[in-house]
């Protein structure tokens, strides 16, 4: 017994010594530089052994790696912005020399930067009911991964295995981490401004590529797969190769840009540029030719026209212009020609009805545990259901869920759906309840809260037509904005210095 007691004491002293030494190392002023050098060495080793990049390109790659390491590892806010850009460009930029895509490394860098900041005492993370629900939901996803299920996680059309852990990482872990970090890192207007500027810039790019896809010159459109999309022919798919995510990005950019236009603390040139971006987003959103995107854009404009104190005029004019356009083009607008902007096509509606019928049947069969994470496409192949006798059986066959909450319930059961709703309703209630405390003026005030609430609302409504877990950028953006707005509204426990 004495030997066991001695061993326990030794382990405890060793652990405490390790903690003290680790804290001393990361608290040192030279830590970011040392971390950058270490990360740079890893970059060089990776380039040399994982897949060499020769010549000037290799030198540039190493230089950029060193610079990014110094910036990212020294600042959680910088790491978050890098993650947003990496997620935005995930499909467009491939680096074969790396063992994984850049977004995964950016996520890892954010985790390291946030952990270092917590140890150094520059960030104090908060853990409450919402964070507990996030952890529980994430763990339930992992339990579903290892639990034995009837169907495998495969794409029936190709037979390809769905990377389940990556699906959880991009659809659940990454946005939750963004909320937790943003809540404590983006608490001032100084730290929030770069986020809003970045959203506006990315939306400008999305709008420009959406317009050039139809008007030309097509040589200016990058990446080229935007022009070659067969799945979404005739729609503005953007860098995501998906019209819904492209539309959500432009809606977020439009709302953000409109508030930047009204921000008097900004230089006139910045406000004019924001106005140009807002103007570009409107035709870009229209060119998605996607009813869900048009619907949520109308909801976003209406919300801001009602609640955006001091900035209502631009939203009212946009709403009036949209209604006038619909009235003038009513015949085309109500036609079944999607390429011309018609909303009368029923084929996509039948797809969703059959997918809903399949989900409801699946929930009835396995209500508690569900059919397993990332298995809806397989489920919808072997147990495809029809909404009604007059709906074609082939509509919606073998596709992923086209309703977010029903897809979660079918795959993760009522338990998974309940945990997800606790998270979703929790962050919504938190945001709405804290908006009253936020100052009316300033980009860290109610305008930020309304931007976050509007983007959240459009994202949730889009979830009635798609499974949002596949949209890593949209999920990341939504939870980042919510976390920033909640953090800006909450009273600080003590002064927090974010590097």
Q: With helix as H, strand as E and coil as C, how does 72-99 read?
A: HHCCHHHHHHHHHHHHHCCCCCCCCCCC
pLDDT of residue 498: 45
Closest listed residue to residue 382, CA positions, set 396, 398, 393:
398
Report the pLDDT averaged over residues 200-225: 95
Contact 126, 184 (CB under 8 A): yes
* pLDDT reported for residue 48: 46
Lowest-pLDDT choice from 219-223, 227-231, 416-420: 227-231
Q: Are 186 and 114 in contact (CB under 8 A)?
A: no
Pick the more confident residue, 330 or 125: 125
Per-residue pLDDT averaged across 191-200, rounded?
Answer: 96
Lowest mean pLDDT among 74-78, 96-100, 288-292, 401-405: 96-100
Q: How far apart are CA 275 and CA 83, in angstroms?
A: 26
213's tokens: 């896809």
pLDDT band at 231 (very low <50, low <70, confident <90, very high): confident
Name the pTM for this structure: 0.87
Is the pLDDT reported for residue 50 higher than 80? no
- Give the number of other Cβ atoms within 10 Å of residue 7's Cβ: 10
pLDDT band at residue 314 using 50, 70 and 90 as cut-offs: very high
- Dihedral class, residue 289 (left if φ above 0, else alpha if ψ from -120 to 50, else beta): left
Question: How confident is the prediction for the chain on average, in pLDDT?
Answer: 86
The tokens describing 390, both together, are: 């007059």
Residues 13-22 pLDDT 10s: 665 655 555 5
Determine phi and psi for 342, rounding to 5 degrees: -80, 150
Q: What pLDDT is stored for residue 442 in this prediction?
A: 85
Average pLDDT of the segment spanning 376-390: 95
- Is the four-CA dihedral 393, 399, 400, 404 of positive or negative sign? negative
- Spatial contact of 441 and 434, defined as CB atoms under 8 Å apart: no
pLDDT at 497 over 80: no
Rounded Cα distance between 167 and 105, Å, is 16
Instruction: For the chain, state the CA radius of gyration.
Output: 24
Task: Let me know: does 86 contact 103? Beta carbons within 8 Å.
Answer: yes
The closest of 199, 197, 218 to 209, measured between CA atoms, is 218
Tell me which residue of 400, 3, 177, 65 sits closest to 408, measured CA to CA: 400
Structure tokens at 116: 């270092």
| Position 495 pLDDT exceeds 50 | no
Asked whether 389 and 354 are in contact (CB, 8 A), the reply is: no
Greatest mean pLDDT range, 147-161, 327-341, 378-392: 378-392
Q: Is the pLDDT of residue 148 over 80?
A: yes
Residue 485 to residue 341: CA distance in whole angstroms: 35
- Token couple for 23: 């804290």
Nearest to 151 by CA among 465, 381, 384, 496: 381
Question: What average pLDDT does this structure show over 87-103?
Answer: 83
Task: Report the range of poorest mean pLDDT among 51-60, 308-317, 356-365, 402-411.
Answer: 51-60
Instruction: For residue 147, give Cα distances in angstroms to 142, 150, 370.
Output: 9, 10, 11
Distance CA 117, CA 113 (A): 6
Mean pLDDT of 309-335: 87
Confidence bin at 109 (pLDDT 50/70/90): confident
* Widest CA span in the chain: 89
Q: According to the model, what pLDDT value does residue 7 have?
A: 60
Query: Is the pLDDT confidence value at 75 over 90?
Result: no
Beta-ladder partners of 154: 161
């Amino acid at each position: 017994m004495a030997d066991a007691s001695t061993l326990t004491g030794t382990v405890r002293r060793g652990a405490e010594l390790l903690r003290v030494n680790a804290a001393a190392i990361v608290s040192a002023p030279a830590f970011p530089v040392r971390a950058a050098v270490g990360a740079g060495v890893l970059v060089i080793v990776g380039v040399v052994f994982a897949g060499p990049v020769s010549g000037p390109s290799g030198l540039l790659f190493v230089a950029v790696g060193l610079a990014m390491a110094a910036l990212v590892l020294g600042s959680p806010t910088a790491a978050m912005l890098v993650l947003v850009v990496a997620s935005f460009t995930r499909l467009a930029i491939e680096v074969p020399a790396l063992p994984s895509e850049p977004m995964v490394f950016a996520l890892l860098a954010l985790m390291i930067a946030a952990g270092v900041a917590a140890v150094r005492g520059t960030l104090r993370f908060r853990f409450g009911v919402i964070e507990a629900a996030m952890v529980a939901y994430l763990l339930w996803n992992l339990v579903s991964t290892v639990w034995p299920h009837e169907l495998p996680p495969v794409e029936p059309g190709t037979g390809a295995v769905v990377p389940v852990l990556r699906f959880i990482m991009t659809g659940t872990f990454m946005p939750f981490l963004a909320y937790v970090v943003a809540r404590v890192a983006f608490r001032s207007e100084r730290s929030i401004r770069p986020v809003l500027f970045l959203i506006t810039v990315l939306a400008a790019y999305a709008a420009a590529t959406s317009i050039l896809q139809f008007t030309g010159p097509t040589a200016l459109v990058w990446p080229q797969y935007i022009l070659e999309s067969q799945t979404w022919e005739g729609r503005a798919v953007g860098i995501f190769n998906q019209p819904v995510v492209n539309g959500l990005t432009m809606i977020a950019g439009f709302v953000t840009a409109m508030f930047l236009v009204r921000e008097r603390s900004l230089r006139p040139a910045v406000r004019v540029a924001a106005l140009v971006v807002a103007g570009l987003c409107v035709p870009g959103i229209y060119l998605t030719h996607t009813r869900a995107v048009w619907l949520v854009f109308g909801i976003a404009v209406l919300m801001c026209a009602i609640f955006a104190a001091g900035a209502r005029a631009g939203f009212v004019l946009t709403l009036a212009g949209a209604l006038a356009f619909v009235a003038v083009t009513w015949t085309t607008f109500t036609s079944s020609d999607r390429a011309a902007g018609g909303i009368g096509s029923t084929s996509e509606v039948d797809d969703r009805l059959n997918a809903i019928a399949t989900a409801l049947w699946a929930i009835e069969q396995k209500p508690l545990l569900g059919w397993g994470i990332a298995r809806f496409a397989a489920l919808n192949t072997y147990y495809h259901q029809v909404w009604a006798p007059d709906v074609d059986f082939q509509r919606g066959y073998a596709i992923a869920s086209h309703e977010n909450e029903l897809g979660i319930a079918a795959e993760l059961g009522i338990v998974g759906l309940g945990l997800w709703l606790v998270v979703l309703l929790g962050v919504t209630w938190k945001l709405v309840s804290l908006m009253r405390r936020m100052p009316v003026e300033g980009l860290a005030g109610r305008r930020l809260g309304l931007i976050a609430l509007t983007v959240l609302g459009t994202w949730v409504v889009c979830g009635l037509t798609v499974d949002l877990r596949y949209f890593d950028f949209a999920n990341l953006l939504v939870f980042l904005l919510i976390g920033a707005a909640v953090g800006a509204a909450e009273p600080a426990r003590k002064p927090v210095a974010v590097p």
